Amino acid sequence: MKKVMSILVLFVSTMTFAQDQFDKGMQKAFQLWDEGETIEASNMFERISNAEMGNWLPYYYVSSINTIASFGEKDKEKLKQQLEKAQEFIDVAKAIAPNNPEILVQQAMIYTAYIAFDGAAYGMTLSGKVAALYAKAAQLAPNNPRVVFSKAEWDMGSAAYFGQDTAPYCKDVERSLELFNTFKAESDFHPNWGKDRAQATSENCKK
């Protein structure tokens, strides 16, 4: 019995230490990101993913950082490298947590970055995939504010591209803001972004 208790104490201590290291690593990665050190933040999340291979979050953030950096990028080779890395890591995240709405939104953002770079080259092949991803995410998590807002933002962009009225989607932006006000992330490290963008879009809707 004493031996069993010793093993249990050792197991709990090991798990606690591992969780503590994970928390510290994630906090440091977010700090680097907040300070604009995006490459260092991406590398930190990547190191965490190597140690936490069953946790989708660090993979998600490597993908997210590289995707965000691709919006506005003019160098085709750099964009390709960033988005290929983003895809590589989101593929692992999908394998760990299939049908996760946050991951579906991130996948849609990767495709959107390609379209934003060259709509003529990527619009025809990827626009339908983006719409399908948002439709699936909305089915899985209709009250997730990032899902609601990201879908509305995509719908508005598509309408504007085809010269259509974007006003009908403003109601979805307003709904996302209501959801942001009550949304509680599962942990300090789970996705919790989007409210600022939704507020800015809402202000544009009112002009």
pTM of the model: 0.90
The token pair at 30 is: 């977010």
The token pair at 150 is: 């990201």
**Mean pLDDT over each residue of the chain, to the nearest integer:** 92
Question: Does residue 107 contact residue 147 with C-beta atoms inside 8 Å?
Answer: no
pLDDT of residue 79: 97
pLDDT of residue 8: 45
Q: What is the pLDDT of residues 16-46, one digit of tens each?
A: 545 789 999 999 999 999 999 999 999 999 9
Q: What is the pLDDT of residues 140-198, one digit of tens each?
A: 999 999 999 999 999 999 999 889 999 999 999 999 999 999 999 999 999 999 999 99
pLDDT of residue 16: 56
C-alpha to C-alpha distance for 175 and 94, rounded to whole angstroms = 27
pLDDT of residue 207: 83
